[in-house]
């Protein structure tokens, strides 16, 4: 005798088990600090980068950034790896003095927690810098997992760091929503098979348009946005 089929569960307003957050430019207002450090350090080695050129590599691991520019305009003296260390030292000092949370960042984390979601930080920054930012923002206990792309074979737009974060949380990637600001991060989230909420510094990039939701600020993450996100991402 067959059992009667139970009615389908009602549509879940938040069909996600985990939220993965980028760090630079999303949780912390550090992208201007990165650009200032890159302009200064590269300039000292004879490569005059503009602010716009620095934006073009946003989201990449710093070692990839220095190799990228060295491949286009080689400089004499230190290796790309040594220049990457110089940039990191400069950014670290700026973070200690100036880093502050982005508008709505702390409320966004709390909003995900209220929905019972596990939280991970998945950043292209090295782990030591992530730890400094987390401490400065008072978020030492905010995340269930913290992952750095420095430990991956490639940085964003490769999805490795997001997939590692999902594994660390014990959550299916299809049940994760990523919060990102950089085009490379949006692409990484979509390649990973995850939903994505983009909060770009400049929303016109074609990669950003691939996000499921685009917000002007994390301050705009409200019940209506969660509803739109759920509607665009059917439960898995």
Which residues are paired to 214 by β-bridges? 198
Instruction: State the catalytic residue, choosing from 17, 24, 158, 212.
Output: 24
Q: Which helix (H) or strand (E) holds 21?
A: strand 18-21
Distance from C-alpha of 105 to C-alpha of 230, rounded to nearest angstrom:
20
Is residue 22 annotated as part of the catalytic site, yes or no?
Answer: yes
Phi, psi of 123 (to 5 degrees): -125, 155
Q: Which helix (H) or strand (E) holds 18?
A: strand 18-21
Angstrom distances, CA of residue 51 to CA of 33, 133, 194, 200: 11, 23, 30, 16
Q: Length of the chain, please?
A: 236
Parallel, antiparallel or unpaired: strands 176-180 and 18-21:
parallel
Is residue 24 annotated as part of the catalytic site, yes or no?
Answer: yes
Angstrom distances, CA of residue 110 to CA of 65, 123, 143, 223, 226: 33, 19, 11, 13, 14
By annotation, the residues acting in catalysis are: 22, 24
């Amino acid at each position: 005798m067959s059992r009667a089929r139970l009615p389908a569960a009602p549509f879940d307003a938040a069909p996600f088990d985990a939220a993965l957050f980028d760090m630079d430019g999303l949780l912390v207002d550090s992208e201007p600090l990165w650009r200032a450090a890159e302009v200064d350090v590269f300039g000292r080695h004879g490569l005059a980068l503009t602010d716009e050129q620095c934006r073009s590599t946003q989201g990449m691991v710093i070692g990839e950034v220095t190799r990228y520019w060295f491949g286009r305009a080689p400089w004499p003296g230190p290796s790309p790896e040594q220049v990457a260390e110089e940039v990191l030292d400069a950014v670290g000092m700026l973070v200690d003095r100036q880093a502050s949370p982005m508008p709505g960042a702390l409320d966004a984390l709390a909003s995900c927690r209220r929905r019972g979601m596990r939280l991970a930080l998945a950043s292209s920054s090295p782990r030591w810098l992530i730890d400094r930012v987390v401490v400065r923002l008072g978020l030492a206990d905010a995340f269930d997992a913290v992952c750095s792309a420095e430990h991956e074979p490639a940085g964003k737009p490769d999805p490795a760091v997001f997939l590692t974060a999902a594994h660390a949380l014990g959550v299916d990637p299809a049940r994760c929503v990523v919060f990102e600001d950089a085009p490379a991060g949006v692409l990484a989230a979509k390649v990973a098979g995850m939903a994505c909420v983009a909060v770009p510094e400049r929303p016109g990039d074609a990669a950003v348009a691939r996000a499921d939701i685009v917000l002007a600020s994390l301050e705009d993450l409200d019940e209506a946005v969660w509803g739109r996100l759920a509607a665009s991402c059917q439960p898995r």
